[in-house]
Amino acid sequence: MRMTRQRRVILETLQEKKTHPCADEVYEIVRQKMPRISLGTVYRNLDILSELGEIQKIELSGSLKRFDGNPAKHYHIRCINCDRLDDAPMPSLEDIEGRLHGSTRYKVIGHRLEFMGLCPECMEKAASRW
């Protein structure tokens, strides 16, 4: 794995940003420092970095994927109104997979959990409509 300037900047960007940006948002941010970087390069590096475990690709609802500079296991909560995504303050439920043993013929390997809700801003806006 060759540490290119592009790869480093993408990784740093993701580690600083706490907003779980999608590929296109990463591209826009990185472009301010490296105007000639291409979107293809961003996609390629996000893939490589998540395969290395440096970042994680958030594979849940929503048509466009988000990326998280924190590679540790944790859940997220998504605003159903504005699509903002935050960390969910809840430890990983390690026991949850064990509940399936015996009742499924699958070999259970992992799980994904995501919460849905209204973020503080959207709640505010909804409230002020009344």
Q: Which residues contact DNA (rule: CB under 7 A)?
A: 1-7, 22-24, 34, 36-41, 43-45, 47-48, 63-65
Residue tagged 């390690």 (tokens): 94
Q: Decide whether 31 or 74 has the Cβ nearer to DNA.
A: 31
104 binds, among DNA, a copy of itself, none (CB under 5 to 8 A by kind): a copy of itself
Backbone torsions φ then ψ of 27, nearest 5 degrees: -55, -45
Residue tagged 């948002």 (tokens): 25
- Minimum distance between the CB of residue 15 and DNA, rounded to whole angstroms? 17
Q: How many Cα atoms are found within 13 Å in the side-chain-facing hemisphere of 91?
A: 3
Q: Which tokens hold the place of 13?
A: 């960007």
Q: Decide whether 34 or 80 has the Cβ nearer to a copy of itself.
A: 80
